[in-house]
Structure 1
Amino acid sequence: MRDPVSPLYGANLSIAAFLKQPPEWKSSVLGALCFSADTAESRMLAGMETPCMTIPMQRLDAGDSICEVWHGSGLLTQGQCGAIHYRHDDDVLFGVMAVDETAFTASTDKTPLQQATEAAYRQVFALLDNLHYPYLFRFWNYIADINAHSFGLERYRQFNLGRQDAFLAHGRDVVGNVPAACALGSAQGPLTIAFLAGRVAPLAIENPRQVSAYQYPQQYGPRSPTFSRASLVRLGQDEVLFVSGTASIVGHETLHPADVVAQTRETLANIAAVLEQANQQASQPGFNLAGLYYKVYVRHAADLVPIRTELERAVGAVPHAIYLQADVCRQDLLVEIEATAGHPFFMPGKRD
């Protein structure tokens, strides 16, 4: 099995445990992705200096909340630029922002969500240009009512329009060398985006079983999604692999639309294909399903058991996984899985 240690030490903690960590521990945190259906917990996170993304999603497997923590190395610098709260070390920058789409008014050619998305991504690109972290590794996007329709278009497709508009406006690639990403739906809340960027160029990884997302035909919307299937980042002697949100899609079509077990199996086959491609590019190949850290998004809570059973069958009895209730970008998709390799769970008070 691949040694998972990398410069980006990770931790999965409950929000309560995260809040109780000592100041010296928190001072090493680049940022955190926090999921909780408890509004009181979310309010407590809002007062923290650490950049924290807070999403109203219910954890399904155990407990009511989870924080995925990303650690830096050395002295960290933090700041705020527009809506973005960020921290960075010499190599990596973590940022998070929440944008209220109700602040935007529908125009003749752009919906409020499209405008909010474009504005958010433009802020990200401007910040990275200003601080000289030109390379995006990974985006996390969370959108209320992602499958709902408004202004004659599904909201996920509105998001894709705004995202690509910002990429093009800043001269960024929209095919090929694009970051890993996910886009999930929550029941409520503003458009919320977190990202990791750095000073070394990542390597975009695609899946031979799938059409690249940025080349989807127009039946999936007026603009294709702008992300790669995975991103391989080399930081010093270490490599980190970010696997984008992955689902039961072969070619460009959804398979097994009413069968959650078959969808989970197909999703894992896609992740395995991505790992095979990544291993061909890695300096020390060895990425495998058992060595990944998974975030599993489940559309229907009742499907948790069969999804978890299938994941355990594929990767071992106790996979490193958390399960969250979320809407997936296509209405016929029942599960989406993202993964990371190259950073272990970080134990509070211990740095290896």
Structure 2
Amino acid sequence: MPKIHLKRTPQEEIDRRARKRAKREHGRHTSSNKRRSERELSPHAHRKWASDDESESDDDTPGPGARPSSYAQSSSYEPDYESIRAELEEARFREKMAAAFDDDDRLDSLEARMNDYAHVPERWRSASHTSASTGHGSFADNDDLLNLDPAQMDDEEYAEWIRSAMYRKTHAKEYAEEQERKARREARRAEEKARRAETARLAAQAEEEHRRKKRQKEVRRFEFARADYDSRWKALLLLSDADAVLTFADIPWPVLAAQRRSERHANDPPPVISLDALSAEEIAVFLVPDVPKDEASKKNRKEKLRETYLRFHPDKFEGRFMRRIRERDQEKTREAIGVVVRALNVLMDA
């Protein structure tokens, strides 16, 4: 009868490997002791080149192939059973994880294939069809389905159509209550929508009113500033006091920033501006804000610019007013006149 070979358990496999390792170590230790004893009995037997007349001191010296006696003792090895067991457990764990990953991939592909054949009825596809009061599906409020032609329906749609109609007949009271609640909800939504629309309309109306008042205020300010500009020029041209001293701010410069803000400030001194405020854009906005649309408006624009140019002509201004301006403001006034004249030239050439 043949011998039966049973599969070893992990512990038996560890013990078997440990016994074999100990047996090998024991064999190496035994052979090492045997060779050492032979060398002690015949020290020159392993050295064929040694002569017979070597001294006794040479006999005690180990040969080139000899090793210290402590080598045999240090060659003994004690196996680490814990590390061996840990390696085996780690290997088994990795095998199980690899098998689990394979199972997951197989199940995922199987689920994907089965989902391709899955079919969910129309009445179960959306939770919005569920009635909170009756607990039924779309039987109570599926008006679109009931308005369809049964001859154009498939089996599922026809079954749903029958269920909806039967529910309305057998649950007439519940259906009426549901329709009443639905009408109230729609009314509340419509009221809320109308309220939001009215709020938005009132906000837009208030914003438009605010912009309109702001534009009117701006128009009134420009009108007063232009009137103040003309009156200041008339007063400057009619000035007869030869001893009167003018400052840089006393000159009516053709920009809005150089004019008084309103009638309440009519008696205030004119504001002081910098040379940067005398740009062509600011002069155009103040003197000729409207875009000319016909020949008459173009002519008026040209005459207004020419009149201003003649007022600020360097030679004429120098002869009329420069001697009346105080000395520390004369240089700044000349620079400002040059800036205004160059800006007017640009506007007249445009």
Q: Does the alignment reach a TM-score above 0.5?
A: no
Q: TM-score band, normalised by the shorter chain?
A: under 0.3
TM-score scaled by length of structure 2: 0.19
Bigger relative CO (Cα 8 Å, ≥ 6 apart) = 1
| Bigger radius of gyration | 2
Length-normalised TM-score, structure 1: 0.19
**Quick check: which one's strand share is greater?**
1
